Amino acid sequence: MTSSTGPRVAMLSVHTSPLDQPGTGDAGGMNVYVTELAQALARRGAQVEIFTRATSSAQPREVELAPGVLVRHVPAGPFEGLDKNDLPGQLCAFAAGALRTEASRAPGWYDVVHSHYWLSGEVGWLVADRWDVPLVHTMHTMARVKNAALAPGDRPEPQGRVIGEEQVVAEADALVASTQAEAEDLVALYHADPSTVHVVAPGVDLGTFAPAPEGTRRADLRAALGVSDAEAGLVVFAGRVQPLKGPDVLVRALGVMRAAGQPVPTLVVLGGSSGRRSAVRELEALAHTEGVAEHVVVRPPADRAGLADWFRAADLVAVPSHNESFGLVAAEAQACGTPVVAAAVGGLRHVVADGASGVLVPDHDPVTWAAELGALLDDDVRRARLAAGARAASERFSWDDAAEQVLKVYDLAREERTRRRG
């Protein structure tokens, strides 16, 4: 690999751009992951080019995200109107765009391909083979894992995706898993070679996501955000409004609390529709049905600084997802010193220290969630204790550490590719 300045990395993020706002459409934690990891790699001398699909004719072909990080918009299919499920038919066009970019460079320009999500992995398989460089892949989510824990009303992932994921796992020279549990799923469900699976925990921007300055009143934080009337407590959900993320569980839990005559907290949902354009309207309709419409506030996704403000203003941050490979929202909320109530699934079991930085809920029953939320909101002492442990729980995660480990994975992938060719 390029020794003087670090490797030249072709990073692939086909279905969602790192420039997109997380929390709506297909943009989420993966966008943050790609953005933060690329910048941390660049700080270590790597040159990172992120290839993503162009979704507007007005987008420039190249955008400098940060020093050493370039985003390339690759035309592949119609700019607008394509659902993520339509993208497999555009992978050939996307791969052609990536290959043309390399063809305009000196031979051997890229040192490694790092693909994110299975769609990118399919392209990565082709271009890494063409360029004769290692393919490193990060799954982010897996169809077999998701299908085993579907939310009510959610559609299972198609068999075509399962086959694609199997192909990418078989062809990758190295696989990056966010947790040990994800690494075990790769081996057990996709028959990955254990020697090619490497656990690298994502990081947290501990500068942006930090507790409020000492002496700051939560009431002032809420007033600045326009929710000063949250007398029974403020619970924040941040993420895409879709069955996988489970915001309906929280709305139903509020309905349980209302029916029992308990104080009902204010639930702020920071996110937009994903999967179905009507998802937000359906959530608001559910709030009416449960009789808690006046307690549910839906706001657009917030930028990183704004998200940190919401976390600091909240009594609790709730993450009722049916599956998470890591759970970046939980880590970022804890970094702000806010306890997290999360479903005991996937990476959330690793991010949230049960009883120390938050609470892990064993199921998605609204009755259970109502009991957990009510008990925590009623117990100021317990919440304060969890808040004290929240920041420490997130200080385990560093993007700089993640970048250091990923650079080592790139070297191991090169060795693995050499071994396979031999």
| Residue numbering of the annotated binding site | 15, 21-22, 26-31, 84, 117, 141, 161, 240, 245, 311-312, 314, 324, 332, 338
Q: Is 251 exposed, middle or buried (0-12, 13-18, 19+ CB in 10 A)?
A: buried
Enumerate the known binding-site residues for Mg(2+). Answer: 311-312, 314, 338
Checking DSSP bridges between strand 69-74 and strand 62-66, what pairing results, if any?
antiparallel
Distance (Å) of CA 219 to CA 13, 231, 310, 317, 399: 40, 10, 12, 17, 32
Enumerate the known binding-site residues for UDP-N-acetyl-alpha-D-glucosamine. Answer: 21-22, 29, 240, 245, 324, 332
Enumerate the known binding-site residues for 1D-myo-inositol 3-phosphate. Answer: 15, 26-31, 84, 117, 141, 161
| DSSP 8-class letter at 183 | H
Going by C-alpha positions, the residue among 47, 95, 48 that lies closest to residue 74 is 95
Cα Rg for the chain, rounded, in angstroms? Answer: 22
Distance CA 145, CA 110 (A): 32
Going by C-alpha positions, the residue among 366, 348, 365 that lies closest to residue 357 is 348
Distance CA 182, CA 347 (A): 8
Number of other CB atoms surrounding residue 416 within 10 Å? 20
| Cα atoms found within 13 Å of the Cα of residue 253, Cβ hemisphere only | 26
Distance CA 82, CA 24 (A): 15
Contact 380, 267 (CB under 8 A): no
Contact 15, 418 (CB under 8 A): no
What is the token pair recorded at 44? 């270590």
